[in-house]
Structure 1
Amino acid sequence: MRKFLGLLVAVVISAAAALAVVRLVAPADGDSGVRRQLAYLRAELDSGAAEDAQQLFPEGYFFSYALYGLASVDAGRLDDAWWALSRLESDAGRAPFAGEMPLQYGVFYRGWVNWLRGGILSRVPEAARDAAQVRAFDEDSAAIAAAFDASPTPFLASYPGQAWPVDSTVAIASLRLHDKLRTPAYDVTVIRWLANVQARLDPATQLIPHTADPDTGEPTSGAQGSSQSIINRFLPEIDPELARQQYTRFRTWFLAAPLGLGPTVREHPVGTDGPSNVDSGPLVLGVSLSATVVTIGAAKVHGDESLADGLARFGEVAGLPVYTPGTKRYAFGAAPVGDAFLAWSKSARPWVAAAPEPPSRVLSRWWQLPLLTLLLAVGLAPWLLRSALRRRRSA
C-alpha cells in the first residue's frame, strides 16, 4: 500500500508540473477565456459575490460590478454591462462614497461610472442610443469637468479628505471619451490637468504619485504598483506622449522577476521595500498580485504585447485556473473580484486612442527558461527520489 501511495504521489506531482509547462508555453486563451470568466462571474454576482467582496475592502462591491461591466463592454455583452451599471447606481453602489466633497460621491465613484456609461454608449450606434443615458453621460461629464476646473489640485477627493491620483486619471479619461462620442467640450480642462499633474510627480521616480494632498495636490506618498498599473491603463486614452513617458518609467521601476521567475510587478519601486496595503494585497518578494494582473491590460493598451502575453502566461501557471463546462475561474474561485480584474485586463483595448506603436523595449523571449527549468526539476524529482531509494535498499 505504501508503495502504491508513493507511486500515486509521484504521478500527481509530475502531471501537475507537465500541466504547468503546457500552460506556460501555450498561448493564453484570450477572448474565449474572458467569455468563460464572465459566465462564471455572472453566476457569482447573482449569488452575492459583490457583497462578499465588500467585506474585504472598501470598493469590493463597486469593483466587482464595474470591472464585470467594463469587460462585458469589450466582449460585446451590452445587456450585462447595462445590468452592472444599474448596480453601481443603486444605494448599495453609492453607499461607501457618502460624505461632503466638492464632487458628489467623489471622483472615484463618478469617474468609473462615467467611463463605464461612455463605454457602453460607444458600442451603440448613435441613432439607437438611449436618450436618458446620453443625457446622464453629458451631465456627469459636465459635473466632473466643473469640479476639475474649480480645483487648485489635479487630484480630486475620492473620500472626504483623501485623494488618490489614479481616480482622477480615470475621470479625466472619461472626459476624453465624452469628447470622442459627443460634441467636444473638455479639451481645455484636460490640457490644464496634464500640466498640473506634470508639476506634481513623485520626485524619486518622476511617476504620478500614489496619494496626494487633497488641497494642494502635492504627493504624500511615492508611486506604487497597484495604482501605477491602473494609471498606465488609462493614460494612453488621455495623452499619448505623457503615456509613453510614464509607461517607460513604470516598466523600469516596477517590472521584476524575483528569483529569476516572472515577469511580475512590484508594489514598491525596484530597490525599495514597503508594506502591503488593501490595494496591493499580500506581497510575495515585493510582488503585488493585483498590480501584476492589471498590468496585463496596461501593456495591451500600450501595444506592449510581449509583456501582456508574458504576464498572462505566467498567470496561467501561478493563478491555478479551473475549467468547468462554459466557465473558467482562477485560484479555485476563492476570490471572484480577482477574476473580475483579470477579465477586465485580458479584454483590454483602447476606447479613445488609436492603436499605439509597440514600445522599443520588449520582454525577452527567454523569460520562460528559469521557470521551465524549475518545473522540469519538480516533475523529475519524485522519480529521481524513488530511484535513489531503490538503489539504497538494494545496496
Structure 2
Amino acid sequence: MLRVLRLVLAIAISAAAALGVVRLVTPADGDSGVRRQLAFLRHELESGAAEDAQRLFPEGYFFLYALYGLTAVDASRLDDARWALSRLESDAGRAPFAGDMPLRYGVFYRGWVNWLRGGIASLSRDPADLRALQEDSAAIAAAFDASPTPYLTSYPGQAWPVDSTVAIASLRLHDKVLTPAYDVTVIRWLANVQARLDPATQLMPHIVDADTGSPTSGAQGTSQSLINRFLPEIDADFARQQYTRFRTWFLAAPLGLGPTVREYPVGVDGPANVDSGPLVLGTSLSATVVTIAAARLNGDPSLARGLAQFGEVAGLPVSTPWSKRYAFGAAPIGDAFLAWSKTARPWVAAPPQPASRVLSRWWQLPLLTLFVAVGLTPWLIGAARRRHRPASQG
C-alpha cells in the first residue's frame, strides 16, 4: 500500500509540473478565455460578488462592475456594458463618493464612469448616450479648468494622480466620439503634471497634496500600471517617456522568476496596502496584472505576453467549457482586472507600433528548470531508494 501511495504521489507531482510547463510555454488564451471569464464574472456579480468586494476595500463594488463593463465594450457586448453602467449609476454605486467635492462624486467616480460611457457611446452612437457623454465631459473639464492643481479630489481632501489621468483620458475619448472641445484643457493638464513629477523617479506620484498637487509620496506600481494604461490615450510623447521610466523602475524578476511588477521602485521597500495586496519579494500581483494592459497600449507585446503567460502559471486558473476563473474563483475582483487587461486596446490613440523594448526570451528558463526538477524529483528519489535497498529485501 505504501508503494502505491508513493506512486500516486509521484504521478500527481509530475503531472502538476508538466501542467506548469504547458501553461508557461503556451500563449495565454485570447478572446475565448475572456468570454469564459465574463461568464464567470456575470454569475458572480448576480450572486453578490460586488457587495462582498465592497466590504474588503472602498472601491470594491465600483471596480467589479466598471471592469466588467469595460471588458464588455472591448468585446463589443453592448448590453453587458449598459448593464454594468446602470449599476455604477445606482445609489449603491455612488454611495462611497458622497462627500463634498468641487466635482460631484469626485474624480475617481466621474472619470471611470465617463470612460465607460464613452466606450458605450462609441459602440451605440445612440443620441442619449452621446448627450450624456457630452454633459459629463463638460462637467469634468470645467472642474479641471477651475482647479489650481492638475489633480482633482477623489474623496474630500484626498487626491490620487491616477484618478485624474482616467478622467482626462475620458475627455480625449469625448473629442474622438464627438466634436473636439477639450484640447486646451488637456494641454494645460499635461504641463501642470510635468511640473509636479516625483523627484526620485520622474514619474507621476502615487499621492499628492489635494491643495497644491505636490507629491506627498513617490511613484508606486499599483497606480503606475493604471497610469501607463491611460497615458497613451492622452499624449503619445509623454506616455512614451513615462512608460520607459516605469519599466526601468518597476519591472523585476525576483529569484529569477518573472516577469513581475514591484509595488515600490527598485531599491525601495515599503508596506503592502489594500490596492497592492500582499507583497511577495516586493512584487504586487495587482500591479503585475494591470501592467498587461499598460504593455499592450504602449507597444510592448513581448512583455504583455510574458506577463499573461506567467499569470497562467501563478494564477492557478480553472477552466470549463463555459467559464474560467483564477485562484479557484476566490477573488472575482482579480479576475475582473485580468480580463480587462487581456482585452485592452486603444479607444482613442492609434494602434501602437511594437517598440524596441523586448522581454528576453530566456525569462522562462528558470521556471522551466524548476518545473522539470520538481517533476523528476519523485522518480529520482524512488530510483535512489531502490539502488540502496538491501539485497535481502529484493
Q: Shared fold by TM > 0.5? A: yes
**Stretches of 4+ aligned residues off by more than 3 angstroms:** none
Percent same amino acid among aligned pairs?
Answer: 81
1:219-368 residue pairs with structure 2 within 5 A? 219-368=215-364
Provide the residue aligned with 1:10 in structure 2.
Answer: 10
Conservation of the 8 A alpha-carbon contact between 2:120 and 2:129: no
The Cα offsets for residues 190-238 of structure 1, whole Å up to 9 and x where unpaired, read as: 0000000000000000000000001000000000000000000000000
1:83-98 residue pairs with structure 2 within 5 A? 83-98=83-98
The Cα offsets for residues 249-281 of structure 1, whole Å up to 9 and x where unpaired, read as: 000000000000000000000111011111100
Conservation of the 8 A alpha-carbon contact between 2:159 and 2:208: yes
Partners in 1 of 2:14 and 2:85 — Cα distance? Answer: 45
- Post-superposition offset of 1:391: 2.1
Provide the residue aligned with 2:119 in structure 1.
Answer: 119
Partners in 1 of 2:55 and 2:318 — Cα distance? Answer: 25
2:208 is equivalent to residue 212 of structure 1: yes
Between stretches 356-365 and 257-266, larger displacement belongs to 356-365
Task: Give the secondary-structure state (helix, strand or coil) at the position aligned to 2:156.
Answer: coil
- Post-superposition offset of 1:304: 0.6
Provide the residue aligned with 2:383 in structure 1.
Answer: 387
RMSD, aligned CA: 0.8
Task: Give the secondary-structure state (helix, strand or coil) at the position aligned to 1:219.
Answer: coil
TM-score scaled by length of structure 2: 0.98
- How many residue pairs get aligned? The number is 391
- Post-superposition offset of 1:133: 2.2
- Post-superposition offset of 1:325: 2.3
Q: Which amino acid aligns with 2:77?
A: R
Conservation of the 8 A alpha-carbon contact between 2:300 and 2:358: yes
2:132 is equivalent to residue 136 of structure 1: yes
2:177 is equivalent to residue 193 of structure 1: no
1:157-172 residue pairs with structure 2 within 5 A? 157-172=153-168
Task: Give the secondary-structure state (helix, strand or coil) at the position aligned to 2:134.
Answer: helix
Partners in 1 of 2:355 and 2:249 — Cα distance? Answer: 16
Provide the residue aligned with 2:173 in structure 1.
Answer: 177
Task: Give the secondary-structure state (helix, strand or coil) at the position aligned to 1:220.
Answer: coil
- Post-superposition offset of 1:132: 2.5
Partners in 1 of 2:3 and 2:101 — Cα distance? Answer: 68
- Post-superposition offset of 1:393: 2.2
Partners in 1 of 2:163 and 2:390 — Cα distance? Answer: 68
Unaligned segments of structure 1, at least 5 residues: none
Partners in 2 of 1:289 and 1:363 — Cα distance? Answer: 19
- Post-superposition offset of 1:5: 1.1
The Cα offsets for residues 343-387 of structure 1, whole Å up to 9 and x where unpaired, read as: 000000000000122222110111111110011011111111111
Provide the residue aligned with 1:156 in structure 2.
Answer: 152
Partners in 1 of 2:360 and 2:92 — Cα distance? Answer: 45
Unaligned segments of structure 2, at least 5 residues: none
Partners in 2 of 1:89 and 1:390 — Cα distance? Answer: 68
Provide the residue aligned with 1:24 in structure 2.
Answer: 24
Task: Give the secondary-structure state (helix, strand or coil) at the position aligned to 1:156.
Answer: coil
TM-score scaled by length of structure 1: 0.98
Conservation of the 8 A alpha-carbon contact between 2:319 and 2:325: yes
The Cα offsets for residues 290-330 of structure 1, whole Å up to 9 and x where unpaired, read as: 00000001100111100000000000000000012211000
Q: Which amino acid aligns with 1:84?
A: A
- Post-superposition offset of 1:394: 3.0
Partners in 1 of 2:282 and 2:387 — Cα distance? Answer: 42
